[in-house]
Amino acid sequence: MVSVRVFSNVNEVELFVNGNSYGKKRPTDCIANWEVPYQAGKLSAVAYTEARPINEVCCETSSTIDAIKSEKIFEGNDYSLFALEAIDDQQRFVPTSDHQLSIYVENGEVIGLANGNPIDQDAYSVENISLFQGKALAIIRGKEANIQIKTIIQK
């Protein structure tokens, strides 16, 4: 059994696992809780106001890491920030990945890497970083608009 917690300010929330309903609940202090048997697949929560569905949030079980997606999330005059995310072969985020990455940059220079792990005790490096909950951050110096990040996944 796994605990599923939904945060919402609506009248009712209904939980679905692979299309099967686990019932509607009224959130207490904006929280609704379920205990459901674990199943790989799709988990969704539907929010209701006055018995009318108004929103749905879904997530799917991912498989093993297939690649690293890099997205420029900030571009300044001299520095850019790139969010790095582990993805599977279906382009789904893999939140359980803690793989080690080696970072190479074209047309720029890595000046910092971070992963947000509060207990990470690895030696600081501008070449290698471990993912934390499937994510990391690269800070790149370079004025080129097209900085490419290549990653090598070390398993």
| DSSP codes joined into one string, 93-129 | B-TT---EEEEEEESSEEEEEE---TT--SPP-SSEE
Using CA atoms of 27, 33, 37, 43 in order, give the dihedral in degrees to the nearest 10: 60
Predicted local distance difference test score (pLDDT) of residue 90:
92
Predicted local distance difference test score (pLDDT) of residue 150:
66
Predicted local distance difference test score (pLDDT) of residue 14:
98
Cβ neighbours of residue 100 closer than 8 Å, sequence gap 6 or more? 128, 129, 130, 131, 153, 154
Predicted local distance difference test score (pLDDT) of residue 49:
94
Predicted local distance difference test score (pLDDT) of residue 23:
97
Predicted local distance difference test score (pLDDT) of residue 142:
82
Predicted local distance difference test score (pLDDT) of residue 145:
44
Strand partners, 137: 83, 114
* Mean pLDDT by groups of 10 residues along the chain of 155 residues: 96 97 97 96 96 94 91 91 94 92 86 92 86 94 65 65
Predicted local distance difference test score (pLDDT) of residue 45:
98
Buried b (16+ CB within 10 A) or exposed e, 36-62: beeeeeebbbbbbeeeeeeeeeeeeeb
Query: Which tokens sit at 150?
Result: 């290549």
Enter the pTM of the model.
0.74
